[in-house]
Chains A and B, each alone.
Chain A
Amino acid sequence: MYRREKQILVSLISTILILGFYSLFVYQKYIAGNMEIINDFKFWGKAFLILIPVTIVAQIIIHIVFFIINKIVTNEDIPMINDERDKLIELKAIRISHWVFIVGFLLSMGSQAIGMQPWVMFITLIYSGFFAAIASEIAKIYFYRKGF
């Protein structure tokens, strides 16, 4: 497996872990035993706003740890340059993730159009962002392996 693919795999796993732990934390601290909070817009606003910096900081820490462990184990450096092929793959992956997110966004709006509870919209938005990120990483691995 190429170094770049390892890096993408780390991003993929860390995205899953971060949202998993964050969801668990929010559920245990705020939602468990207080189910009426899930229809509170203020709660969801805070949950969204806190998730963004938590994800960024956690991703940075996980990648630094990965660089260190990778260097110790394999004694190889992760390439710092982002060449034309990397940029092209990045663009293709972003396009796919945008489509996934748009589908999620439409589903979340659809849930409100048919009169579902507001929490359904927020959960759908969070998870459409999550699946968009996952789709982006999987698309990158696919393009690196298959070529185009």
Chain B
Amino acid sequence: MTQQELADKTGVTRQTIVAIENEKYFPTLELAFRIALVFNTPLEEVFSFQIEDEPKKN
């Protein structure tokens, strides 16, 4: 699937898809679900997230 096809199916511009791929933009939860639906896979298989800095404990 091309970036443009994915963009068309999720209702965003190709530039946004490129930015997500390059980790320059974090999509909203809605867009993330839309992308996962297009690929017909669970969200966590399309996106992954790692916490770099542990929050300070009081």
A81 in the interface, Cβ–Cβ < 8 Å? yes
Once A147-B25, A148-B25 are accepted as A-B contacts, the answer to whether A85 and B19 lie under 8 Å apart by CB is yes
Chain B CB within 8 A of A98 CB: no
| B16 to A: closest C-beta gap in Å | 5
> Chain B residue with minimal CB distance to A144?
B15
In this complex, how many residues of chain A approach chain B with their Cβ under 8 Å: the count is 13
Residue of chain A at shortest CB distance from B14: A79
B28 within 8 A of A: yes
Give the shortest distance, in Å, between A111 (CB) and chain B (any CB): 41
The docked-state distance in angstroms from the alpha carbon of A128 to that of B31 is 37
Query: Across the interface, do B15 and A84 meet the contact criterion of CB distance under 8 Å?
Result: no
Q: CA–CA, A3 to B13, complex, Å? A: 10
Which partner residue on chain B sits nearest A147 by CB separation? B24
Is B37 interfacial (CB 8 A cutoff)?
A: no
B30 to chain A, nearest CB (A): 8
- Asked if B2 is at the interface (CB within 8 A of a chain A CB), the reply is no
Q: Is the CB of A83 within 8 A of B16?
A: yes
Cβ contacts under 8 Å, B46 to chain A: none
- Are A84 and B28 in contact, CB atoms less than 8 angstroms apart? yes
Would B24 and A81 count as touching, CB distance under 8 A?
Answer: no
What are the residues of chain A within 8 A of B13 when measuring CB–CB?
4, 79, 81, 83, 85-86
The 6 closest A-B pairs by CB, nearest first: A147-B24, A83-B12, A85-B16, A79-B13, A2-B15, A83-B16
Residues of chain A having any CB pair with chain B under 8 Å: 2-4, 79, 81, 83-86, 144, 146-148
